[in-house]
Amino acid sequence: MKILKEKIIKNYNFLLKKGMNLGSEGNISVKFKEKVFITPSGIDIKNLKTENISEIDFNGNVTNGVKPSSELDLHLLIYKKRKEVNSIVHCHSDWASILSCMRRKIKKFHYMIAEFGGDDIKCSKYATFGTIKLANFVLTACKNRKGCLIANHGQISLGKDIDEAVHLSLALEKLAKQYYFCLLIKNFKLLNGNEISDVLKKFTNYKSKH
């Protein structure tokens, strides 16, 4: 368990250094057997230690006395509804947050959109942070996807493990920045349905062989 907690802290600090969060922003969780390990509430990322990682059962009960992130309900709902997801990364990164405040989904402007499982990256509806309402809105926006923008808030990425979830959070931020500048230019071209379908097939075939 200590190794798992150390990996959470390592990746949380990595995202801090990448400018994806500030202070105690964002959160990371990992599902392991009958427990969820999640970053705590209100502790500065750079001060995080293994004993600060909260341990939760699937009924939402804290099993080690450490107060979890305010977005615990969001993480638990996704794990309950998306059995293939084993790690979740939530960030307040700049470009994803900007697009989320515009409440714009990221359309199929770049073929790497397909990495998230479809022909776009959606933006959830708005709700107050830490609420079941927000959790349900995010779950809906992530349907058949590995991430989404969270309205007036930030972004979330879902992975089969923590490495994939962290990678996708960085990929989403990169795509958000690129798409923002495309919106400024206005005359950019979107991929058509056949073009993005071909990419999605290639992604599926590639992953099935690895």
Cα separation, 137 vs 45, in Å, equals: 27
Assess whether 71 carries a catalytic annotation.
Answer: yes
From the list 6, 25, 34, 71, the catalytic residue is 71
What residues contact residue 28 under an 8 Å CB cut-off, 6+ apart? 8, 11, 12, 15, 38, 39, 87, 88, 89, 90, 162, 165, 166
Cα separation, 206 vs 23, in Å, equals: 38
Contact of 60 with 135, CB cutoff 8 Å: no
Contact of 27 with 76, CB cutoff 8 Å: no
Residues marked as catalytic: 71
